[in-house]
Amino acid sequence: MAHLFRRRSGLQLDRKALSKPLSGLRRQDRDLPAVAGRLEDFHDAEEAFLHLDAHQEGGLACTNQKLLEQQRLAILDLLKDFGKNLLMGNLNLINVSLPVKMFEPRSYLQKLADAWLYTNWLQAAAATKDPVERLRCVATWFVAGLQHVFQSWRKPFNPILGETWQAHLDDGTSIFLEQISHHPPVSAFQLIGPGAAFQFNGVSQPEVAYKANAIRTTARGVRHVSFPDGQRIEVSYPYYILRGILATAMPRGDVVGVARFVDHENRLCCEVTCGRQQGTAHWLLSRSEALRGTIFRFRSTNAELEARSNSVPAKPKSSFSSFSNAFTSVLSVSSSGRSPPELVPEEQLASCSGNWLSHLDWDGRRYWTLAETEARTWQVPKEALPSDARERADLVALGRGDLKAAQAAKEALETRQRADAKLRKDAGRH
C-alpha cells in the first residue's frame, strides 16, 4: 500500500513506499482493503479517503494555531477601527486598506492560479474529441483544484493596475495574468497548454463580503476553456465561505452553490452542486464538501440568452439562502447584475458524485482521487516583466519578515495608485 505524506501544496503519493501502510488518512471505521499498490483501484465512495485537514463539521480546517491567533488579533483590531458598519456587513473588503500583518507575501494574481495546477485533466480533455467526455475532464480539473482555495488562510495583496504575474509548469503549461482595472478590480488571465492543446482565459472580478463570524468570496467574470477544434466551455464559479473566523477553536473553509460548465455550440451543460447529499449511505457524500452533478443537453437558446454568459455564480440552494441574503452584493460583472440564463434540460447524458476533499466519480468510474494527486507547483520563469508582482517592494519586504518596511511600501504604493487614478479620471479615462 502506498504511503501518503504532506507537502505545502497538498498531499503527495510516495510511490517508492508501496510496501508501507497507508497513514494519516481518515476512514469510516473500516479495515483498509487489499489493493495492488494503486489507490485508483478504489471504485466507490466507501473506498475513498479524506484530506488530513478535513474539519469534523465539514470543509477544510485551519490547523495552524499560531497563524489563527495572529489573524484573529488583526481582525479584532479592524473591528475596533471600523465598528458597526463592518459588523453589519456594509463594508467592501476589497477597498479597505489592511495592515500587512494580515497578508501573505503574494499577489491576488498568484493566488488565482493556485487552483489551476492539475492541467493533466485539461490535457485529457484536449486528447478526446467527445464533447461530453471533455466536459467530464474540465469539471474534474476544476474539482481537483478546490483543495487549494483555502491553502494559505491569509489575504493576498491587491494587485496594482498594470501588475503582472507569470509562471509555468513542468509539463509545458504557461500562465500569464495582468491587473487590467483598478476600480472595480479586474484581473485578466491566460493559461496555455503545451503545444497550445488547450487554453483557459478570461477575467476575474473578486467579491469579498464580511458578516459577523464568516467571510464569503467568489470570483465573478467571464471564463472559457477552449480547444483547437473550436469547442469552447464557459466556466462559472461557486461561492467560497470561511466560517468561524472569530468565535470557534478551528475555522473552516467550504464551497457552496453550483459550478457550471456550458458548451453552447453542442448545447451541453455540466452543473456540479456543492453540499451534503440527502439520503446517501456513504459518509463522504453526507459531508458538506460532497458534490453531485449532471451533464445534460439543453434546448437551444436565443442570442440574447447566450450573450448573458455564466459569469455570475449560480445561486446557492435554499439551505444557504438565508446566509446569502445577509450579505450585501458589493461587485457585479455587469451593470444589470442578472443571473445566468436558465438552461432547460432536454436529455441527461452523465452524472457525477464525490467530495472535493476526497474523490470524484463519473457514472460509477473513479476519475479523480486526492490520494493519487501529485504535488505540483508553479515555476518561476527565468525572465519576467518588470511589472511582475514578485518585484513589489511590499511583497519583498513582507517575504523577508520586515513588517515595518512592508507597511510603509504598501502605503506608498496605495498613495501612488490613488494619484494615478485621479490623473486618469481628469484625463477622462477609467
Whole-number pLDDT of residue 72:
76
User: Please, what sign has the CA dihedral across residues 328, 333, 337, 343?
Assistant: negative
- Cell 479597505 belongs to which residue? 96
Q: Strands (DSSP E) along 244-401, which ranges?
A: 252-263, 268-274, 290-298, 345-355, 359-362, 365-369
Whole-number pLDDT of residue 87:
58
- pLDDT range class, residue 188, cuts 50, 70, 90: very high
Beta strands 174-181 and 186-192, pairing class: antiparallel
How far is residue 385's CA from residue 397's CA, in Å, rounded to a whole number? Answer: 19
- pLDDT range class, residue 381, cuts 50, 70, 90: very high
Cell of 63: 490547523
Cα–Cα distances (Å) from 383 to 194, 196, 388, in that order, read 19, 21, 10
Q: 345-356 pLDDT, tens per residue? A: 899 999 999 999
Cell of 71: 489573524
Residue % of the chain over a pLDDT of 90: 51
For the residues 164-181, what does the mean pLDDT come to? 97
CB 272 within 8 Å of CB 139: yes
* Mean model confidence pLDDT for the chain: 79
Whole-number pLDDT of residue 251:
87
Q: What is the pTM of this model?
A: 0.78
Whole-number pLDDT of residue 426:
86
Cell of 57: 463539521
User: CA triplet 398, 401, 407: central angle to 5 degrees?
Assistant: 45
Higher pLDDT, 417 or 197: 197
- pLDDT range class, residue 10, cuts 50, 70, 90: very low
- pLDDT range class, residue 21, cuts 50, 70, 90: very low
Cell of 156: 493576498
For the residues 88-116, what does the mean pLDDT come to? 80
Q: Indicate if the pLDDT at residue 197 is higher than 60.
A: yes
For the residues 75-81, what does the mean pLDDT come to? 72
